[in-house]
A and B are shown apart, each in its own frame.
Chain A
């Protein structure tokens, strides 16, 4: 008698992932709130990256005094 194969970790979470995907792309009110939250969070990351992080700031020249 063949033993039943154990499901892998990805396979085991697939039903949950499918459920979440279905909810996320649905027309539910809480899904819309999730979309809005993600837009706000990603925008905040962009603002931080360009305005606050040192990215793109010119390096101060080093004084040549040996």
Chain B
């Protein structure tokens, strides 16, 4: 008897400690502690509780957060002061651009995230930044989507009643093709109104009964995973923070860090001082809209562009105009690798499947009442011209995206004309400080436009 009492007491103690531990170490607590992350880590970006917490935290701090969905181009650390993650991420200019995504977050991932965030947005405008690389011959959505899938975002996406069941089914079917099968979750949602006992169709009875039996187990599994993911994330961020405070206070890119073999600008002085100048720049390829009076003055775009160009030029002394660090270390390998490994699949140089996914993102936006700006990024013309993706081939991609947006009535910030702009990109496809300044201006003007 004593043993039984002891075991029950121990279990109660463990349960109580576990509960308080998970409460103190959840993704929401992590987001509350550090809401502004310039470029989320994989653990952060796949944890919707953290991402939503980060959005709400920024909102509560009066930063006026605006969502920018993209992938590795969102990484501000290697870019320089003009990059949106350095210029616009802290709310200095009346809004903060919140990066949602990192490398490997592809169209289908964006469709789910947009649907998940939609109901929490005060201002239902977002920027979508697709990448040509998602559509190219070496795409591997089975690997990329699996690694970047966020269960929490998917749950929120399913719970968004503004999105039709047909669109949800399209997303879920594509997820299954990419190796993340959540068809049962959709079926369970569909079955909520049907009762196992009231149906007379034996096949439907069997399907409903099977779902009714398997769903609780799945829900327990998903909930446990979600809680543990939150705990892992919080502990990881705590350990990074303590590592940083013990270290020499080097990199400032939060948990994102500089990975991916990208070129980088020296980290000092990437955040430029607040300026009080007028909006006078005319370089971005978007129309200059009527501006709403922001809380703070808009960036002095002349100054931003001037500084960004100086930065890019100072560390791009090579013939290509990319950052020297990438040029020396990677350029030769990149051209050689591209020529050895790339070949067009039967269905063409750009994946029709990924293009369908892109249309799916636009469909989700439309149904969820979200108005997107699609930012079309260029790639380094001089580098890609040495591969099978030459100028004519690449034009197919730009046309495809442009035409689809036009058909859907969606605004575009088209920078494809900068493929041969010497200092626009820091490597084969990521923006330099100068390219980042162009992106910043387009993003800023889209969000600050009077509706």
Q: Is A61's CB under 8 angstroms from B147's CB?
A: yes
List the B residue with the shortest CB-CB distance to A40.
B10
List the A residue with the shortest CB-CB distance to B338.
A66
Report A37 CB to chain B, min CB distance, Å: 8
Q: Given the known A-B contacts A35-B7, A39-B14, are A64 and B1 also in contact in the complex, defined by CB atoms under 8 Å?
A: no
Q: Is A39's CB under 8 angstroms from B10's CB?
A: yes
Q: Is A61's CB under 8 angstroms from B103's CB?
A: yes
Interface size (B, Cβ < 8 Å)? 40
Q: Is A32's CB under 8 angstroms from B2's CB?
A: yes
Q: Is B46's CB under 8 angstroms from A58's CB?
A: yes
The reply on A2 being an interface residue by CB < 8 A is: no
Which of B3, B43, B46 neighbours the largest number of chain A CB atoms within 10 Å of its CB? B3
- Residue of A27, A47, A59 near B3 (CB, 8 A) is A27
How far is B144's CA from A64's CA once the two chains are assembled, in angstroms? 11
The reply on B260 being an interface residue by CB < 8 A is: yes
How far is B6's CA from A35's CA once the two chains are assembled, in angstroms? 7
The reply on B11 being an interface residue by CB < 8 A is: yes
The reply on A51 being an interface residue by CB < 8 A is: yes
Q: Could you count the A-B residue pairs with CB atoms below 8 Å apart for me: how many are there?
A: 80
List the A residue with the shortest CB-CB distance to B339.
A66
List the B residue with the shortest CB-CB distance to A65.
B261
How far is B13's CA from A59's CA once the two chains are assembled, in angstroms? 34
Q: Is A27's CB under 8 angstroms from B2's CB?
A: yes
Contacts of B14 in A (CB 8 A): 39-40, 43-44
Q: Given the known A-B contacts A36-B9, A61-B144, A63-B259, are A47 and B18 also in contact in the complex, defined by CB atoms under 8 Å?
A: yes
Q: Is A65's CB under 8 angstroms from B260's CB?
A: yes
Contacts of B3 in A (CB 8 A): 25, 27, 31-32, 35
- Residue of A40, A57, A60 near B13 (CB, 8 A) is A40
The B interface, classified by DSSP as helix, strand, loop or mixed, is: helix
Contacts of B261 in A (CB 8 A): 63, 65
How far is B11's CA from A40's CA once the two chains are assembled, in angstroms? 7
C-beta contact mask, B59-87 vs A, less than 8 Å → 1, else 0? Answer: 00000000000001000000000000000
Contacts of A29 in B (CB 8 A): 2
The reply on B182 being an interface residue by CB < 8 A is: no
Q: Is A64's CB under 8 angstroms from B334's CB?
A: no
Q: Is B228's CB under 8 angstroms from A51's CB?
A: yes
Q: Is B6's CB under 8 angstroms from A51's CB?
A: no
List the A residue with the shortest CB-CB distance to B143.
A61
Contacts of B213 in A (CB 8 A): none
How far is B10's CA from A58's CA once the two chains are assembled, in angstroms? 32
Report A36 CB to chain B, min CB distance, Å: 4
Contacts of B338 in A (CB 8 A): 66
Q: Is B232's CB under 8 angstroms from A59's CB?
A: no
Contacts of A39 in B (CB 8 A): 6-7, 10-11, 14
How far is B7's CA from A60's CA once the two chains are assembled, in angstroms? 40
- Residue of A31, A33, A63 near B260 (CB, 8 A) is A63
Q: Is A51's CB under 8 angstroms from B235's CB?
A: yes
Which of B14, B338, B428 neighbours the largest number of chain A CB atoms within 10 Å of its CB? B14
7 further A-B pairs in the complex, CB-CB below 8 A; given A51-B232, A61-B104, A65-B261: A40-B13, A47-B18, A51-B231, A52-B235, A57-B43, A58-B42, A66-B338
11 contacts between A and B (CB under 8 A): A29-B2, A31-B2, A39-B10, A39-B14, A44-B14, A51-B232, A51-B235, A61-B148, A63-B261, A65-B261, A65-B428
* A interface, CB within 8 angstroms of B: 25, 27-29, 31-33, 35-37, 39-40, 43-44, 47, 50-52, 56-61, 63-66
